[in-house]
Amino acid sequence: MQRVLLAGDFDHTLDPKGRITLPARYRDYFQRGAVLVRLQDNEPCVRVYHPEAWEEFDAKYIEPLNVFESEEDSWRARSIYESLDPVEPDRQGRVLIPSQRIKELGLSGKVKIIGNRTHLEIWNPETYAALKASRGRKDA
């Protein structure tokens, strides 16, 4: 896999069927698939990984968890994988966001897509602006 640095701030729209068009500059990168995941104990967004980037994330952060001896690790791994959805973008570069994630995050209409190095993040714009402002960022 060619390394791609995912960066930028994009305003997009969630269509009535629950689909979001990925930023044009990254459509080729995700043309063979994407992994959508909501990390429950992390930020309130959906992360979008290239399948190989997800494999690297999994190997580094999830595989080392001691799911047999630690109840906390077991539940952490379980919560990640229950909210993970492999998807295939359509010809227009749209991915279907699972209805459960749409409800959990209050997504509708406008959404914000943020590039964050190894993945994209799909946010409710108001949630993103509020969290950014609460951390003292003036450019929210």
118 CB neighbour count, 10 Å cutoff: 16
| Per-residue pLDDT, 138 | 60
How far, in Å, CA of 1 to CA of 73, rounded?
Answer: 30
Cβ atoms of 6 and 48 within 8 Å: the answer is no
Per-residue DSSP letter, 58: I
Position 22 scores a pLDDT of: 96
The residue to which tokens 């999830």 are assigned:
62
Residue type, 47: R
Local confidence pLDDT in tens for the 140 residues of the chain: 567 899 999 999 999 999 999 999 999 999 999 999 998 766 899 999 999 999 999 899 878 888 788 888 788 877 888 889 999 999 999 999 999 999 999 999 999 999 999 999 999 999 999 999 998 766 55
Q: Would you call 34 helix, strand, or coil by DSSP?
A: strand
pTM of structure? 0.89
Domains and CATH numbers, the chain: 9-134 (3.40.1550.20)
Contact 30, 92 (CB under 8 A): no
Q: What pLDDT is stored for residue 137 in this prediction?
A: 61
Phi, psi of 68 (to 5 degrees): -90, -25
Q: Are 9 and 116 in contact (CB under 8 A)?
A: no
